[in-house]
Chains A and B, each alone.
Chain A
Amino acid sequence: MRLRNVYHLSVKEFLHMIRDRRTLVFLLLMPTVLTVVFASAVGNSKVTGIKMRVVDLDHGKIAEEYLKDIGAAETFALEIKANATEADLTQAEEDLDRDKIKAIVVLPKDLTTNLMDGAGGEVKAIVDGSDTFAAPAVLRELGGVAVRHNMKLAAGFLLYEGIVKSEQQAKLRVAPVDLKIDVRYNPELKAQNFTMPGVIGLILQLLTVIVMATSIARERERGTFEQLSVTPLKGAEIFIGKLVPYFILSLIDTVNVMIVARVLFGVSLSGHYGVVTALVVVFVLGSLGIGQLISVVSKNQAQAVQLAIFYTMPVFVLSGAFAPLETLPGNVRPIAYLFPLTYFCRSFRAALLRQATFSDVGFDLLAMFAFAVLTFGLSVLLLRRQPTSR
């Protein structure tokens, strides 16, 4: 490999890049715009405003308190049917069928009286399980309400029966162990802090894979690859030469995206510069490598784009960019470790949120580096094996 040849190719590739203004603007803006979109839409893991109807058949005091409790949660957009009848319940079920509401809470007839008599009661929740985002949120919230409410009731009974003297004592009886929570690294549990590193990785990967995959395929399509092939250029020189301008572009995009993440979404980006840079560099190299591999096996640009999408799509869901790897079923999880984005997401997250050091992310760096070397070497081998330029 001669550096001089790499330089000539890079210059040429750079000229292509600035000649095609529209694509260049697109390549520079796309990551930033995507970051804004992803961070505002996907980054939001808190579900709010789920339509829920409370059918109050009880009309009593307990129901009133229950309602107050549920109403305080911002998860719900409540519709309260006070003084409801059986007809209202039927109506509510119909509305659930027609997707007008997502959940129904039924406070049964005589709930207050029954409880006062010392008998148990039952609050019924009907939830639309087809919405896998809303349903768990509803269940979680209602569960919390139920626990809190039961504690309040129990404390009330203890006081009422004279077993304890004060509310303070009652509380100690009912819930003697308190949970003291100390959230570190992301104390506000800001969802963007978790997703943003993943989003950055995702966008970087999308950009690099597609751009690189089409670069050689385009030359093949235009017939210029044949002209390259009759020059003394070596495969590795062609690859590295083509890679350099896109590598620089990716780094510029990374900086853009990080600035947007910081300024618009207040994502904390306080890692060690060295670690952050190393992670981005190695990850981008690996992604460019897979782009090259795609480029070598495709005959034209359309094929290259198809393959690029075929690669990036599954990685989207498998990498843990939006949801932690723990959400993947156990037998699928090992597949995730085949892709560099998986290593990047977790290590980049660690670097940005927890100021991880080189020794913390060493394994991830190594894995991504191995991937880069593998894809690069394979591309060169494959190219050498197919001197046919058509």
Chain B
Amino acid sequence: MADDVISTEALSRRFGTLEAVKNLTLTVKRGEIFGFLGPNGAGKTTTIKMLCGLIAPSDGKGTVVGYDIRTQRDEIKRATGYMAQHFSLYPDLTADENFRFFAGVYGIFGKEADQRLKELFERVDIMHKRKEQAGRLSGGLKQRLALACALVHKPQLVFLDEPTAGVDPAQRQKLWDLLYDLCQEGTSLFVTTHYLDEAERCHTVGFMLGGELIDKGAPHALRQTLRGKIIGVYSEQSVVAMRALKTLPQVSDVTIYGYELRVFMREASTPQAVEGALRRAAEKASVKIDRVYAVEPTLEDLFMAYERSSAATSAEAQAEAS
């Protein structure tokens, strides 16, 4: 489809016997910020590398900005930007020199490069540090410089692999403002992150787990799938209460947030319906429960739910095998 900036079909990548990405079928709409989520080793970076032409897929096919990822890698390189998971500019060169180098290899030099440098450096607010060696910049500035370099050739689509890892909240905010700006101008963004508050800010998110895409959709829509499955419980003895509640068959997991417990139910329900059972379990362990109430599911809850279900299925598979 013309308004898909990325579209893959059964894309796979193996490293020896390890299947880092399995049968990935994914579409990303043009002009969106797409959040790519998943635990460590889920295959996010591997997917990005296949999409921007750094590694070849073992199987499957795909197009990025309308070009085939197997045969039109050069066209893809010209139309996309890539910001790697690890800082990958030259630490011994200044911000300025780094930028001019990347500008140069995209055929931008002389006056045009000056202009582009001014425009982008002002935009990412790094003008005052342009003579500083890149390796000496703070974490946030490094990422902003890397972003400026990734944008030098006005790509239609930018891949950002954990752009905010190790960056403080204020700097993260600043980076996201930039991303929204870019998106506003029509640039599509493909972002991976482990911060679920950032995931909430994406138009669409995809969840990777063990190399597979297990869910995709708008963050609020995904969260709604957990509606009713999470019950809030307030208790001053939260740790003991958690242990007590975990023994209930209808409870799949309990997580603690200070005095609040988030109780994951196996079936969707209401606080009124389960309050009795919860209080009885607490009484048996002689813990006091103050309140039982409805809570809004978060992406974090969803993340935990996915991980739990995959752990359960793999345990089942193991049990079956033995």
Contact between B54 and A226 (Cβ–Cβ < 8 Å)? yes
Known: A229-B54, A230-B77. A12 touches B106 (CB 8 A): no
Q: B84 at interface (Cβ–Cβ under 8 A)? A: yes
Q: B267 at interface (Cβ–Cβ under 8 A)? A: no
Q: Which of A15-23, A172-180, A291-299, A366-374 contacts B (4 or more CB under 8 A)?
A: A15-23
Across the two chains, which residue of chain B brings its CB closest to A238? B105
Known: A230-B54, A232-B74. A223 touches B86 (CB 8 A): yes
Known: A223-B86, A223-B87, A226-B84. A233 touches B54 (CB 8 A): no
Contact between A11 and B89 (Cβ–Cβ < 8 Å)? no
Q: Chain A nearest CB: distance from B259 CB in Å?
A: 44
Contact between A16 and B101 (Cβ–Cβ < 8 Å)? no
Contact between A5 and B55 (Cβ–Cβ < 8 Å)? no
Contact between B101 and A8 (Cβ–Cβ < 8 Å)? yes
Q: Mark B227-267, 1 if CB is under 8 A from A, else 0.
A: 00000000000000000000000000000000000000000
Q: Chain B nearest CB: distance from A388 CB in Å?
A: 5
Q: A355 at interface (Cβ–Cβ under 8 A)? A: no
Q: B82 at interface (Cβ–Cβ under 8 A)? A: yes
Q: B92 at interface (Cβ–Cβ under 8 A)? A: yes
Among B52, B101, B102, B107, the most chain A Cβ lie within 10 Å of the Cβ of B101
A1-41 residues with Cβ-Cβ distance < 8 A to B are 4-5, 7-9, 11-12, 15-16, 19-20
The distance in angstroms between the C-alpha atoms of A8 and B93, with both chains bound, is 13
Q: B78 at interface (Cβ–Cβ under 8 A)? A: yes
Q: Considering only CB atoms and an 8 Å cut-off, how many residues of chain B contact the other chain?
A: 31
Q: Mark A204-230, 1 if CB is under 8 A from B, else 0.
A: 000000000000000000111011111
When distances are taken between beta carbons in the complex, the residues of chain A under 8 Å from B149 are 227
When distances are taken between beta carbons in the complex, the residues of chain A under 8 Å from B107 are 4
Q: Considering only CB atoms and an 8 Å cut-off, how many residues of chain A contact the other chain?
A: 25
Contact between B93 and A232 (Cβ–Cβ < 8 Å)? no
Q: A331 at interface (Cβ–Cβ under 8 A)? A: no
Q: Chain A nearest CB: distance from B163 CB in Å?
A: 14
Q: Which of B53, B97, B109 contacts A230 (CB 8 A)?
A: B53
The distance in angstroms between the C-alpha atoms of A227 and B74, with both chains bound, is 14
B48-100 residues with Cβ-Cβ distance < 8 A to A are 49, 52-56, 73-74, 77-78, 80, 82, 84, 86-93, 97
Q: A389 at interface (Cβ–Cβ under 8 A)? A: yes
Q: B104 at interface (Cβ–Cβ under 8 A)? A: yes
The distance in angstroms between the C-alpha atoms of A12 and B92, with both chains bound, is 10
Across the two chains, which residue of chain A brings its CB closest to B92? A19
Q: Chain B nearest CB: distance from A86 CB in Å?
A: 75
The distance in angstroms between the C-alpha atoms of A232 and B78, with both chains bound, is 6
When distances are taken between beta carbons in the complex, the residues of chain B under 8 Å from A15 are 92-93, 97
Across the two chains, which residue of chain A brings its CB closest to B78? A232
B131-177 residues with Cβ-Cβ distance < 8 A to A are 133, 149
Q: A387 at interface (Cβ–Cβ under 8 A)? A: yes
Contact between A232 and B84 (Cβ–Cβ < 8 Å)? no
When distances are taken between beta carbons in the complex, the residues of chain A under 8 Å from B133 are 19
The distance in angstroms between the C-alpha atoms of A19 and B90, with both chains bound, is 11
Q: A231 at interface (Cβ–Cβ under 8 A)? A: yes
Known: A9-B105, A388-B54, A388-B55. A232 touches B88 (CB 8 A): no
- Give B residues with C-beta under 8 Å from A: 49, 52-56, 73-74, 77-78, 80, 82, 84, 86-93, 97, 101-102, 104-107, 109, 133, 149
The 22 listed contacts between A and B (C-beta, < 8 Å) are A4-B107, A5-B104, A11-B104, A12-B101, A15-B93, A16-B90, A16-B92, A20-B92, A222-B90, A222-B91, A223-B87, A223-B88, A224-B89, A227-B84, A230-B52, A230-B80, A231-B102, A387-B53, A387-B56, A388-B54, A388-B55, A389-B49
- Top 6 A-B residue pairs of the complex, sorted by shortest distance between their CB atoms: A8-B104, A223-B88, A19-B92, A227-B88, A230-B82, A231-B105
- Give A residues with C-beta under 8 Å from B: 4-5, 7-9, 11-12, 15-16, 19-20, 222-224, 226-233, 387-389
